[in-house]
Structure 1
Amino acid sequence: MSEQRDELMKLLSDEELDLFILTGGIDMDIADQMRENVIGITKIPIGVAENFIINGNPELVPIATEEKSVIMQASIGAGLVPEGFKATTSGNIMIGQIQVLEVPDMDAAEEAILAEKAALLVDANTLSRSRKAVDLQVKRLDTAVGEMLIVEVFADVRDSMGANLIDSMCELLAPTIARITGGRTLLPILSNLATKRTVTLTTRVPVELIGPAVVNDIIAADAFAWADPYRASTSNKGVMNGIIGVLLATSNDTRAVEAGAHSFASITGTYRPLTKWRKDGNGDLVGTLEIPMGIGTVGGVIQSHKLAQVVLRLMNVETASDLAMIAGSVGLASNLGALYIMVTEGIKSIQA
């Protein structure tokens, strides 16, 4: 047992240790309340990624994964950056969309919605005392079934993931939107492409630590991914290995984040890597990652999953932004660790 893992286990009470080792945090009664038609419970191993420094603070990071070497790659990547990772978030704005069909006059409909914007936001904000809609915008789409109007609601969901609130806001506004536009509303739904809720990471690997040849090879490997979507797909899978592991350990919606990440990777019209590696003036390797992160630390399954609550406590996480910065750092570290291994020893060296 590593020193850091031993240190983490000492922070657990006997009851919390049982959650990790025996129950996994849920029993059949809890599982039945969480999901329909439950017939059993599956368990995923949780390990600890080491060597992480995020915004100057050392971090021990629990990762839930069934895949061999994911935690090793993240730990190796984190160990290559003595100054750690610098992380920032853009806020907690999630986006909802209301689809409007059969609009008789698009120009008039768009003008009417924007004229009623303030009133629409007031209506949306009757649903929550603390999480509020902050903006409303309109766009047109040319589609295979004709032109349609899309009304987008932007809400600050704070530390929740926000899906239920956003869906409720859109459903509440849909009849009013139909009346204002003279059209027919169809889908009122959250978007998982959370472009207003991103996390950005930067890190630096000193050239003295890995040598100029390895710096150049990692940049060349990265260039391969930027030139070829087939390679970009696997590169991004490596990023998500780490991110999804952190989110699974904290009972967040991994499918939502995965969908948003891959949509973000192709938002320019070409599928691209989520990471970028370059060389600075000193010859050091500099890496960046930007990714949407629609996650929460309150609400949903997190409230009922005891193990998720313990994991959040162990990570000293209080806000959704805190969790996003940790998850993003693990994603960038995972990418770096995988690239370093591939250009030096080869990926099979850790898969044996």
Structure 2
Amino acid sequence: MIKPVEGFSKLTKEQKIDWLTTNYTKDPKAAKALLQRYWNDDTKVQKLHDEFIENTVTNFYLPFGVAPNFLINDKLYAIPMVIEESSVVAAASKAAKFWLNKGGFKTTVIGTEKIGQVHFMYHGDPTKLKSFFNSVKPKLLEKAAHITKNMKKRGGGITNIELKNKTDKLDHYFQLHCTFETLDAMGANFINSCLESFAETLKTESLANLDFSEKEKNIEIVMSILSNYVPNCVVRAEVSCPVDELNIDHQMPSKEFAQKIVQAVNIAQAEPHRAVTHNKGIMNGVDAVVLATGNDFRAIEAGVHAYAAKEEGYSSLTHAEVENEIFKFWIELPLALGTVGGLTSLHPLVKLALEILGKPSATELMQIVAVAGLAQNFAAIRSLVTTGIQEGHMKMHLLNILNQLGATEIEKTTLTNYFKKHTATHSSVVEAFQKLRQ
């Protein structure tokens, strides 16, 4: 029986591995060798990785690919993407090439406002709280001045603080709803530091407020935290061209192709079951670039899906229309990204990814990420309304299946050539492999 471990975080990496492999693997020697095989040979690089998180025992590798030929606002990009899913990079590259000679992608940053909140409980007269807030608001800003000093020098800082009465949702619940401009930083630490300062000042000043009763003075600060829902930190990306230029290698007439794309998007806007998968495809492109550039893809995912549900129900993040014989396809995404701070200045491959992108500002990165999501969605819909999604996906997945089967390089070449002319499914690949081995 495995016993709980005491002081695990204080063990050396080797001791952690010994404990882990001894207690949780069938072959500790083989498991230990596997973990060590993924260590970086450069001890300085490995130490850097060890210190990114707690209790590190090894590195987990994901492919770092690149999708070339993205023309964005008349500038050509090769976009780094980190992802494990077959066909994502290929699909993005195909969409980039498709739009390259049609004007490329156009983008607009609609807003860059980020949000944080101080959540608190107040038992008393809301009008007295409102009056108190109005009087104390300048002091909230004053007490946080040491935190905002450097950000303000660069043109950012706190843009507003509002008192919001949320008692219609929860008894006695109020909040300070605060907005920020954090420039090229994602800004989480800055925002959270400001919020904690606001909370401390709010509590201190309420205790000294002579207009409050003893009960009203006892404001209960529940928590102070940024929000990953940023509906005013939004970027738009779009493509457009005359319908008759939507040439898809004679798979379908251009007009029919345009109509089917519009119908496919309309279905994703009307049907949540389809919208979830539709938007997941968008996030294949978005997350891959977010991860490659050292940003928080979990935060982006949460905020984007909340944005997709901001109206009556969960719906498509992309839109399409044909008007006056012009096809237009676009997306709006909330993206709170950073190009300074965090992993952007630590992880060697993140630094390289940002260099490949021309060392973009946060707003430039927002535009690149949105384009990656739009391109991915266009490629997916194009496959769905023409050949179907499986033909291209399974051909890209072919090598994964062959590797699982233990195919040799010669067998991989033979079967790759075979499936250029035949439909690849998991069962058909296994059957062809077995026949080849016989």
Both proteins in one fold, TM over 0.5: yes
Query: How far does residue 56 in structure 1 lie from its aligned partner after superposition?
Result: 1.1
Partner in structure 2 of residue 273 of structure 1: 316
In the TM superposition, what whole-angstrom CA distance separates every residue of 1:123-146 from its partner, at most 9, and x where no partner exists? 233203124111111212246651
User: CA separation in 1, counterparts of 2:303 and 2:232?
Assistant: 12
Q: Are 1:137 and 2:173 matched, yes or no?
A: no
SS at match of 1:126: helix
Q: More deviation in 126-135 or 252-261?
A: 126-135
Distance 1:207 1:120 in 2: 55
Q: CA deviation at 1:24?
A: 11
> Residue 230 of structure 2 aligns to a residue in which SS?
coil
Matches of 2:74 and 2:366, distance apart in 1:
16
- 1:243-301 deviations in Å (ceiling 9; x for gaps): 1101111111111111110011111241111111111212x321121111111000012
Query: Are the counterparts in 2 of residues 125 and 132 from structure 1 also a CA contact under 8 Å?
Result: no
The question of 1:204 aligning with 2:240 is answered yes
Greater strand content: 1
**Cα deviation code 1:55-85 (max 9, x no counterpart):** 1111111111100011122122223322111
Cross-structure match for 1:17: none
SS of 1:39's equivalent in the other structure is: coil
Secondary structure of the 1:150 match is: strand
The 2-side partners of 1:46 and 1:122 are apart by 45
Specify the SS of the correspondent of 2:68.
Answer: strand
Q: How does 1:227-246 map to 2 (within 5 A)?
A: 227-246=270-289
Q: Is the 8 A contact 1:225 1:232 kept in 2?
A: yes
Match of 2:200 among 165, 175, 186: 175
TM-aligned CA distance change 1:101 to 1:216, over 3 Å: same
Higher normalized contact order (CA 8 Å, seq sep 6+, divided by chain length): 1
* Unaligned segments of structure 2, at least 5 residues: 1-39, 207-215, 248-253, 395-438
Identity %: 31
**1:152 equivalent in alignment to 2:177:** yes
What is the root-mean-square deviation in Å for CA atoms of aligned residues? 2.0
**1:5-84 alignment, distance < 5 Å:** 27-81=45-99, 82-84=102-104
Please give the secondary structure, in 1, of the residue aligned with 2:147.
coil
Q: How far off is 1:221 after superposition? A: 0.7
Say whether 1:326 aligns with 2:381.
no
Paired positions, count = 330
Listed one character per residue, the Cα deviations across residues 320-345 of structure 1 (whole Å, up to 9, x for unaligned) are: 01111101011111111110111011
**Is the Cα contact below 8 Å between 1:80 and 1:205 reproduced in 2?**
no
SS of the residue corresponding to residue 47 of structure 2 reads: helix
Cα 1:132–1:125 shift into 2, 3 Å = farther
Change (3 A) 1:197 1:168: same
**2:435 matched residue in structure 1:** none
**CA 1:24/1:259 → structure 2, altered by over 3 Å: closer, same or farther?**
farther
SS of aligned partner of 2:162? strand
Correspondence for 1:5? none
Q: TM-score, normalised by structure 2?
A: 0.72
Kindly state the Cα deviation for residue 316 of structure 1 after the two structures are TM-superposed.
0.5
Contact 1:89 1:199 in 2 (8 A): yes
CA distance in 2: counterparts of 1:151 and 1:26, whole angstroms: 44
Moved more, 194-203 or 134-143: 134-143
* One-letter amino acid of the counterpart of residue 283, structure 2: M
Secondary structure of the 2:51 match is: helix
* AA at the equivalent of 1:194: V
Displacement of 1:94: 1.4
Aligned to 2:427: none
Structure 1 residue aligned with 2:105: 85
Distance in 2 (CA, whole Å) between partners of 1:311 and 1:66 is 17
Asked if 1:184 corresponds to 2:220, the answer is yes
**Contact 1:125/1:133 (<8 A) preserved:** no
Residue 118 to residue 69, structure 1, CA distance change in 2 (3 Å): same
User: In 1, distance between residues paired with 2:186 and 2:72?
Assistant: 22
In 2: Cα distance, 1:307 partner to 1:280 partner: 43
Q: Note if contact 1:124-1:133 (Cα within 8 Å) is conserved in structure 2.
A: no
| CA distance in structure 2 between the aligned counterparts of 1:107 and 1:147, rounded to whole angstroms | 13
Unaligned runs of 5+ in 1: 1-21
Check the 8 A contact 2:140/2:197 in 1, yes or no.
no
State the one-letter code of the partner of 1:34: F
Between the aligned partners of 1:32 and 1:72, the Cα distance in structure 2 is 32
Distance 1:25 1:298 in 2: 25
Q: Deviations over 1:89-115 (max 9, x none)?
A: 134321110001133122221232133
1:102 touches 1:148 (CA, 8 Å); kept in 2?
Answer: yes
Partner SS, residue 52 of structure 1: strand
Bigger Cα Rg:
2
Q: What is the SS of the residue equivalent to 1:236?
A: helix
The CA deviation at 1:31 is 2.1
Instruction: Determine helix, strand or coil for the equivalent of 2:146.
Output: coil
Q: Could you list the runs of 4 or more consecutive aligned residues of structure 1 that deviate by over 4 angstroms after TM superposition?
A: 22-26
Is the CA contact 1:199–1:293 (under 8 Å) kept in the aligned structure 2?
Answer: yes
Aligned residue for 1:49, secondary structure, equals strand
Kindly provide the CA deviation profile for residues 21-59 of structure 1, in whole angstroms up to 9, marking residues without a partner as x: x87998431122211111111111111113311111111
